Amino acid sequence: MSIDIKKLVLDALKPREISIAELSKAICKIEGVDNVSINVVETDIKTETIRMIIQGNSICYEEVAKVLAENSTALKSVDEIAVSKKITPKLV
Amino acid sequence: MLRRIRRFRKRARKYFSVAGAAELSRRYFVMNSFDGALAILGVVMGAYITGKADAHLIINSGLGLALATGISGFVGAFLSEKAERSRKIKEIEESIMMEIKDSIIYRASKFVTFALAVVDGISPALTIFLTLIPFMIHEISPSALSLQYAMVASIAINLSTLALLGIYLGKIASANRLKYSLLTVAMGLAIVAILFLTGAGV
């Protein structure tokens, strides 16, 4: 049996120097991630609050958090998560 | 090897884009090349109007000037960029309430500080070296190039460098390249004229 994260909706804060194009590409490079969409919710002088929707067949949350840190993006909250369970039938 | 160079170029481009330093590097390059070109033009013309021009002396003075401007440019840019970028990193850390020591912004900042210092150090030294080439040829083989011709060739190279810098400026500004190159060459000619006029009075 394996439980996989299929969808993550994250609220994060990033400096304006980091482009959402680069950030979304960096997240999409993670194994198990298929789609990434980023919306800029709020723009400040130095920062931008973003809402990220990450979808995939097996998203590694720790890896996403690592890529965000690598791109100077602070994770504020996990607003939504979808997981699914897969039972592999045992061969008798 | 070629793949490594390509990878380095790609990373450098990314760092320059993250640190917003492409414009700054162009500015440093033009400003310091211009400085170096005019400084060496002053040395060459100064030597010429004394009437006792000596290729060996001009080369040594020029190389000394290249070294001094190179080191001063490198150290000056490195220290000022380091201070500015450290402040910016602190500001970013405060605004996102997170340490960014392992992030791309931090690495880009460190890389760009060094790269800009190199541009600042090398650009004046390069224009100085170019202007000195005819004198070096004269030193190696005086029969191939007389001192008088070396002097003319040196000034011609210098003015051509200034013209190229002007063209580059015009390209950056997306404006009339000829106008910019005429302006930079006019600056060089003005130095020549001023030194001639003041030198005649000495």
Residue B201's pLDDT is what? 47
Rg of chain B over Cα atoms, rounded to whole angstroms, equals 21
| pLDDT in the model for residue B34 | 93
Q: Cβ neighbours of residue B149 under 8 Å, at least 6 residues apart?
A: B134, B138
- Give the integer Cα–Cα distance in Å for B81 and B117: 8
Give the pLDDT score at A88: 77
Asked if A18 lies within 8 A of B105 by C-beta distance, the reply is yes
CA distance B105 to chain A (A): 7
Mutate one of A14, A17, A18, A70 to test the B interface: name it (highest B CB count within 10 A): A17
Instruction: Report the percent of chain A where pLDDT is more than 90.
Output: 87
* Backbone conformation region of residue B66, classed left if phi is above 0, alpha if psi is from -120 to 50, else beta: alpha
Q: Between B175 and A28, whose confidence is greater? A: A28
CA distance A39 to A66: 20
Nearest to A70 among B19, B96, B104 (CB): B104
Chain A residue with the nearest C-alpha to that of B16: A17
How far is Cα B181 from Cα B163, in angstroms, rounded to an integer? Answer: 4
Domains observed in chain A: 2-84 (3.30.70.1340)
Q: What is the DSSP letter of A78?
A: E
Helix (H, G, I), strand (E, B) or coil at B50: helix
pLDDT higher than 80, residue B151: yes
Residue with tokens 């060496």: B40
Query: Tens digits of per-residue pLDDT, B102-134?
Result: 899 999 999 999 999 999 999 999 999 999 999
Amino acid letter for position A8: L
Mean pLDDT rounded to a whole number for chain A: 94
Q: Does position B199 have pLDDT exceeding 80, yes or no?
A: no
User: Does residue A74 surpass a pLDDT of 70?
Assistant: yes
pLDDT in tens, A56-65: 999 999 999 9
Q: How confident is the model at residue B196 (pLDDT cuts 50, 70, 90)?
A: confident
What percent of chain B stands above pLDDT 70? 99
Q: Are B31 and B121 in contact (CB under 8 A)?
A: no
Domain ranges of chain B: 21-201
Query: How much is the mean pLDDT over chain B?
Result: 91
Cα–Cα distance for residue pair B109/B86, rounded to 1 Å: 8
Interval B159-177: pLDDT, tens: 999 999 999 999 988 889 9
Helix axes of B22-50 and B177-201: crossing angle, nearest 10 degrees: 30
Contact state of B103 with A71 under an 8 Å Cβ cutoff: yes
- pLDDT band with cut points at 50, 70 and 90 for residue B84: very high
Please report the pLDDT score of residue B177 as a whole number: 92
Chain B residues within an 8 Å CB radius of A22: 14, 18
pLDDT for A92: 64
Amino acid at position B53, single letter: A
